[in-house]
């Protein structure tokens, strides 16, 4: 654990703590001579570090036996479909799959291709289109009114979901082509009606990792109420720090822990009737998307600028909106692609609320299934961002 966390701390957090220490010493009138290191962050280090840690911890707990197959263990740690950005796999789930023969399975192959197709649709058609708008606003937020800033923030909420869930679908689908099953990483999180349920559906492999290796060992819900609050806040703050060595990520994680604590106490006094459950969905959806400001902004100062800008709502935002694009043709292409693809995305998300895309489609008839294939493929070819497409957001972690 010391070796794994030591490498992660050195490569990912050394400069952050050095800068923080320097700011602290300057506050008290001292000058620190510690230097930052200009080093390249190893690709996927956050993900395969947690994967390796789970292996060691599960052996210590007696949940699994250590393998004597060195090649299988190294393949488990560096399995290329999910190496860069997950899903984070447990040794008990993935390692045994390397130790058995894989036989060609037509259904497995078809399932993998379905997930890859839907993942490419979410990434290339929706996430990369929205990135064009979001990036321009967040690169110079001082130039835009509150309406544009608010629109960019909500667009980023869909961008990061389609980007990361799209990557997860592609990773899981690619593994299935090779005969491996990876765990589902997203389950329509924006359709949830509570913050607790959101974290059961968003980045499932990471949230369950923090639950099993930090939250529960610290006491979970078996402790006093005040102790439980501290555990929740600490677990989510660490989760924010895992995403990035910056104050903005720490605040983002802390806020989600704070929301869960507030929801826990509010639910004791307020019980919404079933017919008003949509109120819970609206509150959860709006608050989570507003919190993305801390995840997307470059600095804490930029966060405060954007949040303060939300108060400057202006209905006359069309000129500012269209001014983000090089010309009318570019604006028209953006608008048409989003208007054409978003209804398809929403319909699919509603249909897969309790399952995944491949399972849902497999239950449909041949005509409907192939119609879905052709529609998604056509959307990718017509509206997909093919040139200079942004990389996956979670590659930076």
Same-domain check for residues 112 and 34: no
Check: CB of residue 115 under 8 Å from CB of residue 170: yes
User: Which of the listed residues 60, 80, 98 is the one where a domain comes to its end?
Assistant: 98
Same-domain check for residues 24 and 124: no
pLDDT number for residue 156: 94
Q: Which pair of structure tokens corresponds to residue 329?
A: 């043709």
Check: CB of residue 58 under 8 Å from CB of residue 90: yes
Residue 7: partners with Cβ closer than 8 Å, 6 or more residues away = 45, 49
Same-domain check for residues 71 and 116: no
Catalytic residue of the set 108, 203, 243, 256: 243
pLDDT number for residue 213: 93
User: Which of the listed residues 55, 70, 98 is the one where a domain comes to its end?
Assistant: 98
Domain tally, the chain? 2
Check: CB of residue 192 under 8 Å from CB of residue 280: no
Query: Is position 203 within any domain?
Result: no
Residue 329 has pLDDT above 80, yes or no: no
85-119 pLDDT, tens digit per residue, is 879 998 888 888 888 888 888 888 999 999 999 99
Query: Is position 306 within any domain?
Result: yes
* Coil vs helix vs strand at 299: coil
Q: Cα Rg for the chain, rounded, in angstroms?
A: 22
Residue 255 has pLDDT above 90, yes or no: yes
pLDDT number for residue 33: 65
To which H or E segment does residue 79 belong?
Answer: none
pLDDT band of residue 396 (cuts 50, 70, 90) is confident
Q: At what angle do helices 91-98 and 70-77 cross, to 10 degrees?
A: 130
pLDDT band of residue 130 (cuts 50, 70, 90) is very high
pLDDT number for residue 44: 79
d(CA 132, CA 144): 15
* 243 among known catalytic residues: yes
pLDDT band of residue 23 (cuts 50, 70, 90) is low
Same-domain check for residues 281 and 386: yes
d(CA 122, CA 159): 9
Same-domain check for residues 152 and 296: yes
155-160 mean pLDDT = 94
212-244 pLDDT, tens digit per residue, is 999 999 998 888 999 999 999 999 999 998 888
281-307 pLDDT, tens digit per residue, is 899 999 999 999 999 998 899 999 999
Same-domain check for residues 84 and 119: no
155-177 mean pLDDT = 94
- DSSP class of residue 349 equals H
Residues in the chain: 397
Residue 247 has pLDDT above 90, yes or no: no
pLDDT band of residue 387 (cuts 50, 70, 90) is confident
Query: Is position 145 within any domain?
Result: yes
User: Which of the listed residues 98, 133, 167 is the one where a domain comes to its end?
Assistant: 98
Same-domain check for residues 154 and 123: yes
Query: Is position 255 within any domain?
Result: no
pLDDT band of residue 313 (cuts 50, 70, 90) is confident
Same-domain check for residues 61 and 178: no
d(CA 219, CA 343): 44
Q: What string of DSSP letters covers 189-245?
A: GGG-SSHHHHHHHSSHHHHHHHIIIIITTTTTTSS-HHHHHHHHHHHHHHHHHHH-S
- DSSP class of residue 212 equals I
pLDDT number for residue 321: 58
Q: What phi-psi label fits residue 229: left (phi over 0), alpha (psi between -120 and 50 degrees) or beta? A: alpha
Same-domain check for residues 316 and 388: yes
Q: What percent of the chain has pLDDT over 70?
A: 90
pLDDT number for residue 246: 84
Check: CB of residue 369 under 8 Å from CB of residue 361: yes
d(CA 117, CA 372): 10
Same-domain check for residues 156 and 13: no
Query: Is position 210 within any domain?
Result: no
**Residue 373 belongs to domain spanning:** 107-186+272-396
Q: Which string of b and e fits 144-176 if b means at least 16 CB within 10 Å? A: bbbbbbbbbbbbbbbbbbbbbbbbbbbbbbbbb
Same-domain check for residues 91 and 125: no
pLDDT number for residue 27: 57
Same-domain check for residues 81 and 147: no
Query: Is position 229 within any domain?
Result: no
Query: Is position 47 within any domain?
Result: yes
Query: Is position 266 within any domain?
Result: no
């Amino acid at each position: 654990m010391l070796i794994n966390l030591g490498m992660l701390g050195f490569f990912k957090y050394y400069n952050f703590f050095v800068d923080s220490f320097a700011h602290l010493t300057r506050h008290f009138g001292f000058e620190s001579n510690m230097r930052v290191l200009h080093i390249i962050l190893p690709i996927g280090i956050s993900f395969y570090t947690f994967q390796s840690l789970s292996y060691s911890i599960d052996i210590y707990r007696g949940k699994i036996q250590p393998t004597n197959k060195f090649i299988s263990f190294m393949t488990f740690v560096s399995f290329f479909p999910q190496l860069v950005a997950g899903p984070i796999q447990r040794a008990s789930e993935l390692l045994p799959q390397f130790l058995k023969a894989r036989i060609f399975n037509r259904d497995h192959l078809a399932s993998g291709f379905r997930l890859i197709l839907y993942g490419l649709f979410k990434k290339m058609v929706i996430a990369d289109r929205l990135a064009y708008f979001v990036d321009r606003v967040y690169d110079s937020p001082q130039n835009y009114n509150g309406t544009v800033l608010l629109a960019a923030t909500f667009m980023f909420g869909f961008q990061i979901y389609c980007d990361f869930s799209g990557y997860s679908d592609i990773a899981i689908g690619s593994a299935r082509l090779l005969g491996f099953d990876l765990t589902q990483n997203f389950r329509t999180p924006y359709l949830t009606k509570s913050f607790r349920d959101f974290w059961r559906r968003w980045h499932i492999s990471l949230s369950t990792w923090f639950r099993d290796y930090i939250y529960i060992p610290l006491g979970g819900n078996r402790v006093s109420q005040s102790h439980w609050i501290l555990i929740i806040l600490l677990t989510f703050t660490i989760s924010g720090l895992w995403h990035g060595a910056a104050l903005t990520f720490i605040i983002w994680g802390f806020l989600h822990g704070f929301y869960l604590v507030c929801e826990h106490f509010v639910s004791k006094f307020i019980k919404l009737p079933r017919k008003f459950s949509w109120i819970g969905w609206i509150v959860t959806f709006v608050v989570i998307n507003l919190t993305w400001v801390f995840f997307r902004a470059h600095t804490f100062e930029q966060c405060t600028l954007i949040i303060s800008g939300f108060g400057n709502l202006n209905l006359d935002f069309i000129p500012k909106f269209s001014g983000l694009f090089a010309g009318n043709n570019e604006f028209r292409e953006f608008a048409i692609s989003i208007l054409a693809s978003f209804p398809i995305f929403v319909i699919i998300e509603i249909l897969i609320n309790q399952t995944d895309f491949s399972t849902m489609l497999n239950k449909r008839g041949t005509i409907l299934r192939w119609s879905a294939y052709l529609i998604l493929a056509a959307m990718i070819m017509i509206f997909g961002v093919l040139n200079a497409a942004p990389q996956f957001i979670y590659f930076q972690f």
